[in-house]
Amino acid sequence: MNVVIGSDGMFCPPIELKDPLMAPYGNDTTTEEILDGIDLTGRRFVVTGASSGLGAESTRALAAHGAFVTMLARSPEKNEAAAAAVRESVPDARLELGTVDLADLSSIRAFADRYRRDHDAIDVLMNNAGVMACPFGHTADGFEMQFGTNHLGHFLLTGLLVPAILAGTEPRIVNLSSAAHSISDVDLDDPNFETTEYDPWGSYGRSKTANVLFTRELARRLGPEGVLSFAVHPGGIMTNLGRHLDEELINQMMERSKARAEAAGNAAGEFRFKSVEAGAASQVWAATAPELVDHNGAYLGDCQLGVEGADPGGNGFVSYILDDDKARRLWTLSEQLVGQTLDL
């Protein structure tokens, strides 16, 4: 077993796959199985990317168990349609809609100001939204699109909402990462591909590694304040996240997935797609499971704790996501890029 310890000693060792803590859950576990018997009445969740896919399913599942959910999306129209679908399934769902474009820092600041003005607390912030393997482009503020949206957008949103998170009850922050973190480490010298040739999957991998390093630094900074932070690989799910994928990119994804699986000892190298209900299960588990209290900063996959060197397609991860010095430097760089020091 590989021990995952941060420089301050706050991270716990990953648990073996057969540990009793993990035994009930796996690749096909659904949100309803995770939340069976759990009452979330009185708990307030904020979910980005809530208008479709895993965000919409997470919202439905949480609302079905009594949670109050603020649904965030870039498109008000799509968000309203998603909320209507949730209410059709959960007639008494307690929902609130908010508009935020994670590729526009001014939109993020405007939403955060509104939220802090209207609400005192957040119990769980679920940073679910993202873009994947898109053509080269830039955010409204000039950042490479995937790094700017997937990491910097959530970095600023989280930082601005921290006062409300600290006021929450047993608060948690859940950041969606991916097995794609194993494609590439972050590049702190060239985060916007100014000197590096752009690769859609390489860029996505960088942003997903950034999500994990961000999680670890959040755990280091906010753990003493009682905030738990987790990074989650949801698995392979057919959602709108894949809207930029063509045949070539899909083939590249399959080949990389097979190579990673074989390198980790999974000779079959089989890529398995999940249902949306199974795909959202790991992030819902991260947001609610009492058994994770002692595992702040952990990387999760298939509703299990991460295991270094195992197949990234499941709950495995590569060692560079444990680099706490790089996590600190990424934080400093992110503050510089968004033009705001986060007093955490």
| Residue recorded with tokens 């100001």 | 113
Q: Is residue 218 part of a domain?
A: yes
Buried-state track 322-331, b at ≥16 Cβ within 10 A, e below 16: bbbebbbebb
Q: Is residue 25 part of a domain?
A: no
Q: Is 280 exposed, middle or buried (0-12, 13-18, 19+ CB in 10 A)?
A: buried
Q: Is residue 65 part of a domain?
A: yes
The structure tokens listed for 59 are 């919202």
pLDDT in tens, the chain (344 residues): 333 333 333 333 333 333 435 447 999 999 999 999 999 999 999 999 999 999 999 999 999 999 999 999 999 999 999 999 999 999 999 999 999 999 999 999 999 999 999 999 999 999 999 999 899 999 999 999 999 999 999 999 999 999 999 999 999 999 999 999 999 999 999 999 999 999 999 999 999 999 999 999 999 999 999 999 999 999 877 655 555 555 665 555 556 555 555 555 665 555 567 899 999 999 999 999 999 999 999 999 999 999 999 989 899 999 999 999 999 999 999 999 999 999 78
Q: What angle do CA 218, 224, 230 make, to 5 degrees?
A: 35
Q: How far is CA 325 from CA 20, 73, 101, 141, 220, in A?
A: 33, 33, 30, 27, 11
Q: Which helix (H) or strand (E) holds 228?
A: strand 228-233
Structural domain range at position 305: 31-333
Q: Is residue 282 part of a domain?
A: yes
Strand ranges, E, within 119-202:
124-127, 172-176
Residues tagged active-site: 204
Q: Is residue 200 part of a domain?
A: yes
CATH code at 167? Answer: 3.40.50.720
Q: Is residue 139 part of a domain?
A: yes
| Total domain count, the chain | 1
